[in-house]
Structure 1
Amino acid sequence: MDWILLRGLTREQAHWGDFPERLQASFPEHRFHPVDLPGTGVHFRETSPDTITGIREVVRRQVAHIPKPFSILAMSMGGMVALDWAQHAPEGEIQNLVLINTSSGFSPFWQRMRPGAWPRVLRLLARRELFERERDILRLTSNREPPLELVKHWYRIQRQRPVSAGNALRQMTAAARYRPGRQRPMPDALLLASRGDRIVHWQCSAQLEQRWLWTLKLHPDAGHDLVIDDPDWLIRRLRDWLAR
């Protein structure tokens, strides 16, 4: 089975770190394809659409070579793209859907971005010193003190493939406007959320669970970037769900 991996706001495939390799080692019969959203990673010179649907259409063209059906694992804003994709995909195109700490228009705005996160996000957007900015992003999205090597790695990513302020604003606009359709796109999907998420309230995932009777698993203390804080927990939950 082929999997498409989508990251979140202003993040690219390099921000997965060694997670794709961990997935490959845990599921050797599967193939994992990290894909950059427009305006990030290998596409950092492109202009990002300012709607989730527009971003989804670009990503779908990028993965046209991947055999169908495939599965999608996505986090944060990438989860919005994946959910929109699932609601518009031809029947049978998407086999499994895994959403990590994502949100949607089904939840109130103060849960989609928690009030305490707003001033920190605004300060980050205004910050010009890249090393300090990337360290502060890690400190906001992760509940573990980021190792120096990880901060350096994220700093190098931004130096090599910088996300422009315009693309960051367009992605934020797309995320803020996103409203999924009412129809349940799949009989089941795996929702993974962190009780310790200081950006997106875990109730956003619970709202999707309650609305569509999907499977929700909550991490007790990880932050928004669950891939950094506890990748082994994430892989165990995925293995259990795939064995259902």
Structure 2
Amino acid sequence: MDWILLRGLTREQAHWGDFPRRLQASFPSHRFHAVDLPGTGVHFREASPDTIAGIREAVRRQVLHIPKPFSLLGLSMGGMVALDWAQHASTGEIQNLVLINASSGFSPPWQRVRPASWPRIFKLISCRELFDRERDILRLTSNREVPLGLAKQWYRIQRQRPVSRRNALNQLAAATRFRPGAKRPMTDALLLASRGDRLVHWKCSSALEQRWQWTLKLHPDAGHDLVLDEPEWILNQLAEWLIR
């Protein structure tokens, strides 16, 4: 089975760290493809659409070579793109859907982005010192101690493939306006969220669970970047869900 991995706002495939390798080790018969959203990673010179639908179509064009059906795993805004994709997929295109700390228009604005986070988000967008910005993103999205080496690694990523302020604002606009369609796209999907998420309330995932009777698993204290904070927990939840 092929999987497409989608990261979040202004993040690219390098921000997955060693998670794709750990996925491959845990599921050796599967193949995992980390794909960059427009305006990030290998596509950092491109303009990002300002709608989730536009981002979804740009990503879809990148994976035409991957045999169908494939599965989607999306973190944060990547989860929005994955959900929108599942709702607009052709018959038999998507086999599994995993959303990590995703939100949607089914939840109120103060849950989609916690009010205490907005000043920090605007500060991050306006910050011109790249190292400070990357370190502060880590401090906002992770509930674990941020190693200096990791902050330096994320700094190098942005130095090499910088996300423009315009693309950051376009992605933010796309994320804040996203509202899924009413129809359930999959019989079941795996929703992973953290009660300790200081950016997006875990009830955004709960809203999807209640609306469509999907599977929700909650981590007690990890941050918004659940992949960074608790990768082994994600692997365990995914393994249990896949054998359902």
Matched, 1:182 2:151: no
The share of aligned pairs that are identical, in percent, is: 78
Shift of 1:149: 1.0
Cα deviation 1:107-147 (Å, max 9, x = unaligned): 00000000110111111111111111100000000000111
Q: Counterparts of 1:82-231 in structure 2 under 5 Å?
A: 82-231=82-231
Q: What whole-Å deviation, never above 9, does each CA across 1:32-57 have from its counterpart, x for those lacking one?
A: 00000000000000000000000000
CA distance, structure 1, for counterparts of residue 141 and residue 239 of structure 2: 25
Query: What amino acid is the match of 1:61?
Result: R
- Other-structure match for 1:238: 238
Which amino acid letter does the alignment assign opposite residue 228 of structure 2? I
Question: 2 CA distance for matches of 1:191 and 1:179?
Answer: 17
In 2, distance between residues paired with 1:92 and 1:206?
A: 26
Equivalent residue, structure 2, for 1:59: 59
In 2, Cα distance between equivalents of 1:192 and 1:179: 19
Task: Look up the SS of the partner of 1:116 in the other structure.
Answer: helix
Deviations 1:208-235 (A, max 9, x none): 0000000000000000000010000000
Aligned equivalent of 1:29: 29
Per-residue deviation, residues 170-198 of structure 1 (Å, max 9, x unmatched): 00010111110000000000000000000
How far apart, in 1, do the equivalents of 2:86 and 2:235 lie? 22
For residues 160 and 3 of structure 2, the distance between their equivalents in structure 1, rounded to whole angstroms, comes to 26
- Runs of 4+ in structure 1 deviating by more than 4 angstroms, as ranges, are none
Q: Calculate the TM-score normalised by the size of structure 1.
A: 0.99
User: What's the C-alpha RMSD, in Å, of the aligned pairs?
Assistant: 0.4
Using the alignment, how far apart are the partners of 2:164 and 2:119 within structure 1? 20
Where do 5+ consecutive residues of structure 1 fail to align? none
* AA of the residue aligned to 2:198: R
Tell me which residue corresponds to 1:47: 47
**SS where residue 170 of structure 1 aligns?**
helix
* Counterpart code for 1:43: H
The separation in 1 between residues aligned to 2:127 and 2:54, in whole angstroms, is 28
| AA partner of residue 20 (structure 2) | P
Please report the TM-score for the alignment, with normalisation by the length of structure 2: 0.99
Q: 1:20 & 1:226 partners in 2: Cα distance?
A: 14
Letter of the structure 1 residue corresponding to residue 139 of structure 2: R
The equivalent of 1:3 in structure 2 is 3
CA distance in 1, matches of 2:56, 2:228: 25
